[in-house]
Amino acid sequence: MKEQEYRQRAEEHLLHVYNRFPVVFERGEGVYLYDTQGREYLDFASGIGVMAFGYHDKEYGDALKAQIDKITHTSNLYYHPPMAGAAEKICKVSGMDKVFFTNSGAEAVEGALKTAKKYAYLRDKKAGHEIVAMENSFHGRTVGALSATGTAHYREPFLPLMDGVRFARFNDFASVEAQVTERTCAVILETVQGEGGLYPAEPEFLKRVRGLCDERDILLILDEIQCGMGRSGAMFAFQKYGVTPDILTTAKALGAGVPVGAFLVTQRVADASLQPGDHGTTYGGNPLVCAAVDKTIELMERRAIPEHVEKVTPYLLQRLDGMKDRFSFIRDRRGMGFMQGLQVDLPVGDVVKKALEEGLVVLSAGHDVVRLLPPLVIEKQDIDRMAEILTKVFTDLS
């Protein structure tokens, strides 16, 4: 079937909520994708930060195939072997105590918000608690997650959303402190803002927010759906700050290609929040996705993936900063690890489109940031190829 036919068939039946690029990806190998015409694309998007090992990783694939041959679903009314391994491993590498597996990042945020509200309800013996979230943040598109997303154009068409959310300025402690009231039960923030433009939390800001939460018995929720699972150069970005959340959300690279998310809590929160009947999911944490989580974490540890990210990041920054120095329309380069953005005075959509035409997959963040989320296994030669293509794109567009 021709590429055009695939696109036409899809558009005939799919709800049009994505403006997809005119390419049909058929397979992947390593850090490259291939379309139905056999054309090669260097992938610096990794399925929006999902494909940690790139494509067609044999050990990962064999683990999933073996699980498919056993059982893929039981519901959460029963135990299954992959559940135990996945739960043990994610708690160990995160330093958290208890985990609930979800189907997506947005569902992980929903669970985190419910946990915080139940914690405060049991503490105060009443409902009506509030959340402090950050301006310019993104937590997902379900109602609760959208309510805590600090970008107005995402929220406005769907108002009224969940009430009781107050917004503070990211990296401005005084702003956070001003939004906290006696009704506040949690502060939620991304350790590195992703969709909002690749802004890492400043160390002093995060430490002061942690201290405020401790002082007021407020729960700190860190959203590491995009920046977690090795992308920062640590397994989780918060581990670089010496700060531990009360609740942690993760997804994307957690299963390295299967749809799985999770929220994790400390023992103190687990003992004083959700109880049987308070939360649930039919598919979440099924045997297939738990096998993926188990194998993903095993491979990340055995192959020292976070250490690889930390080692190679300086070279990535060197090449990106070189482009920034060369092109006056690149106003800033920021991010952490393999989560980087170039802020440009160009239509960012044109940059992404032109890069794709040249065989490079990149993303946007907001209206002016070219976002790079490569597989965590890229090497220096892949960075050189990316820089070569992106330099050509910038030259052509300028």
CA-closest candidate to residue 284, choices 67, 68, 105, 52: 105
Mean pLDDT per segment of 10 residues, for the chain of length 398 residues? Answer: 87 92 96 97 98 98 98 97 98 98 98 98 97 97 97 93 97 98 98 96 98 98 98 98 98 98 98 97 98 98 98 98 97 98 97 98 96 98 98 96
CB 376 within 8 A of CB 338: yes
pLDDT attached to residue 184: 98
pLDDT attached to residue 2: 83
- Taking the C-alpha atoms of residue 383 and residue 388, their distance in angstroms, rounded to an integer, is 9
Q: What are the tokens at 148?
A: 């805590």
Instruction: Indicate the class that CATH gives domain 60-302.
Output: alpha beta
CB 361 within 8 A of CB 44: yes
pLDDT attached to residue 3: 85
CB 177 within 8 A of CB 209: no
Q: Return the half-sphere exposure (C-beta side, CA atoms, 13 A cut-off) of residue 256.
A: 29
Q: What is the 3-state secondary structure (H, E, C) of the chain?
A: CCHHHHHHHHHHHCCCCCCCCCCCEEEEEECEEEECCCCEEEECCHHHHCCCCCECCHHHHHHHHHHHCCCCCCCCCCCCHHHHHHHHHHHHHHCCCEEEEECCHHHHHHHHHHHHHHHHHHHHCCCCCEEEEEECCCCCCCHHHHHCCECHHHHHHHCCCCCCEEEECCCCHHHHHHHCCCCEEEEEEECEECCCCCEECCHHHHHHHHHHHHHHCCEEEEECCCCCCCCCCCCCHHHHCCCCCCEEEECHHHCECECCEEEEECHHHHCCCCCCCCCCCCCCCCHHHHHHHHHHHHHHHHCCHHHHHHHHHHHHHHHHHHHHHHCCCEEEEEEECCEEEEEECCCHHHHHHHHHHCCEECEEECCCEEEECCCCCCCHHHHHHHHHHHHHHHHHHC
- Amino acid present at 33: L
pLDDT attached to residue 4: 87
Residues 6+ apart with CB under 8 A from 134: 150, 167, 168, 169, 170, 188, 189, 190, 193
> Domain limits of the chain?
60-302
- Taking the C-alpha atoms of residue 93 and residue 87, their distance in angstroms, rounded to an integer, is 10
Helix axes 380-397, 305-326, angle to 10 degrees: 30
- CA angle centred on 33, ends 32 and 37, rounded to 5°: 130
